[in-house]
């Protein structure tokens, strides 16, 4: 524990507290801050330290009170307004963040950082045109700031101008390097828009310039794999693994390339990154691939309703943008709850106005915390992100009401699969054998009502084969 000496310099003490908070040593900073507040007159600086400490300890209410006290003590200090705006944005209070950032701009119309903060808050409030205007001014004032440029590209794309958004990202790069984060953002932009060759070119340009990290090589491998360049992708993933051996996104892609033993599931961080970047074009892309699962699930749900009549509640696991919700919305069911790990996918689902409740969470963690039961649990193309299914199925089984149906789709793995009955494919999804599916469902307390062969969608001109499965809770043994 830090010891306080009677002759301590109050200024040095304040600096020490700040350094401890920066280092993440909030437990050590607390007693020193308390001592500083006994030695020094109240000031906005002390309030800011207390706010940072409280936020570091997860006490957001206390942090907000300290930020408020700092601003109240010096309302004309734009820096305090910006600090509170940043905090409010981090904690989801976008209205307050926008007001504080706007006040900071009024106090200093030349403050580019305040304009960037205001632009980010407006974008979070669903006002991309206003956000774009603010961020344009910030970038004009500081054209070399890569964070401003990246934020402006996001706002520009959200404002419906993807070509201009890419030009903004590309304009901040050069063949001799440039910001690594900006380059990765440009590569990811190309991948989201299926410009895979352009993505590979940007990554190679960064490699030649020596501006690389694990993320760049991982994205390069992803683009190469999408082009069918699997050997080259494996080389990129190997480089990514060297630079980021603990990165879950990288490790999953490396496992998919065959360079690592298959993990038992796709990491949540990987799923969040993929689907957050895919959300806005997800519906159009899958519809273009002839995606059949929503229609197949609708037919199955209608069959169930023909037996039991109107029913509910309904749980849509991994609901994504709500394609299954749309398919069943006119049937006599409800209320409908959707769960997905991607906030951006959920925003698309929310805009459809179908779900009574939408929850952002990893489905396995979310199920573990729920006491509820549902009459229908739907999982369209969710289990393809799990290899071993026993953990997820054991979490689902108690949540299914007696007589309820669990309707799920999976991708098919041939019967000559490895002993585990599942395998990780190059696209980062898992496939399962029929024998394994039948065995694991029964072992986890389900009765398999049927398992129908199903074309899930087309991919690279060929059908992706799988199964549509209906399972029920096994009768309790007395």
pLDDT in tens, 12-38: 888 888 888 888 888 888 888 888 888
Evaluate if pTM is beyond 0.75: no
116 in any annotated domain: no
238 in any annotated domain: no
pLDDT tens-place string over residues 335-394: 999 999 998 899 999 989 999 999 999 999 999 888 899 999 999 999 998 989 999 999
pLDDT tens-place string over residues 142-153: 988 999 999 999
Q: Decide which of 198 and 429 is more confident.
A: 198
311 in any annotated domain: yes
What CATH number is given to the structural domain containing 358? 3.40.50.150
Q: End-to-end CA distance of the chain, in Å?
A: 58
State residue 417's pLDDT score: 46
255 in any annotated domain: no
Beta-strand (E) ranges in 314-399?
Answer: 314-317, 336-340, 357-360, 374-379
State residue 58's pLDDT score: 82
- CA dist 340 → 60, 102, 466 (Å): 25, 34, 22
pLDDT-derived band at 478 (thresholds 50, 70, 90) equals low
Over residues 235-263, mean pLDDT: 72
pLDDT tens-place string over residues 253-264: 666 666 555 677
Domain that holds residue 327: 276-473
Q: Which residues contact 164 (CB under 8 A, 6 or more apart)?
A: 156
State residue 1's pLDDT score: 43
Under 8 Å between Cβ of 252 and 218: no
State residue 248's pLDDT score: 67
Give dist(CA 182, CA 202) in Å, integer: 11
State residue 249's pLDDT score: 66
pLDDT at 415 over 90: no
Residue with tokens 């082009």: 227
**Choice among 229-233, 258-262, 431-435, 451-455 with the minimum mean pLDDT:** 258-262
Which alpha helices (H) appear in 258-292, and where do they start and end? 268-276, 279-288
100 in any annotated domain: no
357 in any annotated domain: yes
Name 412's bridge partners.
Answer: 432
pLDDT at 92 over 90: no
- Domains of the chain: total: 1
Q: Which residues contact 142 (CB under 8 A, 6 or more apart)?
A: 112, 148
State residue 278's pLDDT score: 66
Give dist(CA 106, CA 128) in Å, integer: 21
Over residues 292-300, mean pLDDT: 93
Give dist(CA 277, CA 120) in Å, integer: 18
Q: Which residues contact 451 (CB under 8 A, 6 or more apart)?
A: 434, 437, 438, 467, 468, 469
Under 8 Å between Cβ of 343 and 315: no
State residue 435's pLDDT score: 92
CA 242 from centroid of its chain's CA atoms? 24
150 in any annotated domain: no
Residue with tokens 């440029």: 149
pLDDT-derived band at 414 (thresholds 50, 70, 90) equals low
User: Mean pLDDT, the chain, as a whole number?
Assistant: 87
Give dist(CA 399, CA 371) in Å, integer: 7
pLDDT at 470 over 70: yes
Over residues 235-258, mean pLDDT: 75
Under 8 Å between Cβ of 292 and 454: yes
Over residues 154-169, mean pLDDT: 93
Name 473's bridge partners.
Answer: 446
CA 211 from centroid of its chain's CA atoms? 25
68 in any annotated domain: no
């Amino acid at each position: 524990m830090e010891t306080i000496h009677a002759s301590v310099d109050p200024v040095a003490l304040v600096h020490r507290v700040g350094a401890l908070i920066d280092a993440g040593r909030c437990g050590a900073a607390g007693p020193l801050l308390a001592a500083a507040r006994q030695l020094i007159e109240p000031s906005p600086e002390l309030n800011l330290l207390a706010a940072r400490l409280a936020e570091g300890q997860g006490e957001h209410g206390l942090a907000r009170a300290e930020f408020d006290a700092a601003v109240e003590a010096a309302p004309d200090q734009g820096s305090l307004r910006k600090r509170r705006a940043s905090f409010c944005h981090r904690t989801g209070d976008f209205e307050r963040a926008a007001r504080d950032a706007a006040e900071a701009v009024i106090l200093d119309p030349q403050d580019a950082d305040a304009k960037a903060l205001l632009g980010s808050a407006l974008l979070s409030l669903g006002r991309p045109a206003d956000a774009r205007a603010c961020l344009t001014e910030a970038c004009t004032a500081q054209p070399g700031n890569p964070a401003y440029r990246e934020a402006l590209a996001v706002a520009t794309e959200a404002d419906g101008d993807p070509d201009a958004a890419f030009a903004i990202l590309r304009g901040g790069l050069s063949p001799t390097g440039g910001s690594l984060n900006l380059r990765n953002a440009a590569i990811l932009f190309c991948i989201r828009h299926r410009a895979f060759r352009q993505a590979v070119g940007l990554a190679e340009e960064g490699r030649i310039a020596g501006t690389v990290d694990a993320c760049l090589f991982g994205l390069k491998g992803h683009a190469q794999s999408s082009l069918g360049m699997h050997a080259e992708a494996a080389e990129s993933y190997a480089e990514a693994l060297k630079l980021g051996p603990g990165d879950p996104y990288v490790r999953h892609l490396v496992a998919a390339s065959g360079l690592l033993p298959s993990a038992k599931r796709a990491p949540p961080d990987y799923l969040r990154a993929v689907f957050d970047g895919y959300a806005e074009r997800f519906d159009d892309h899958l519809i273009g691939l002839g995606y059949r699962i929503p229609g197949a699930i609708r037919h199955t749900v209608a069959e169930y309703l023909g037996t039991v009549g109107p029913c509910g509640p309904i749980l849509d696991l991994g609901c994504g943008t709500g394609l299954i919700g749309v398919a069943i919305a006119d049937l006599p069911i409800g209320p409908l709850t959707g769960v997905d790990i991607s906030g951006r996918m959920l925003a698309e689902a929310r805009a459809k106005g179908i779900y009574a409740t939408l929850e952002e969470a990893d489905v396995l963690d979310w199920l573990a915390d729920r006491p509820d039961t549902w009459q229908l649990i739907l999982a369209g193309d969710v289990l393809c992100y799990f290899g071993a299914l026993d953990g997820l199925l054991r979490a689902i089984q108690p949540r299914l009401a007696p007589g309820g149906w669990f309707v799920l789709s999976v991708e098919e793995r041939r019967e000559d699969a490895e002993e585990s009955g599942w395998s990780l494919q190059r696209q980062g999804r898992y496939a399962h054998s029929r024998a394994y599916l039948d065995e694991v469902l029964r072992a986890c307390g389900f009765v398999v009502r049927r398992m129908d062969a199903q074309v899930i969608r087309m991919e690279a001109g060929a059908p992706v084969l799988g199964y549509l499965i209906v399972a029920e809770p096994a009768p309790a043994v007395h």
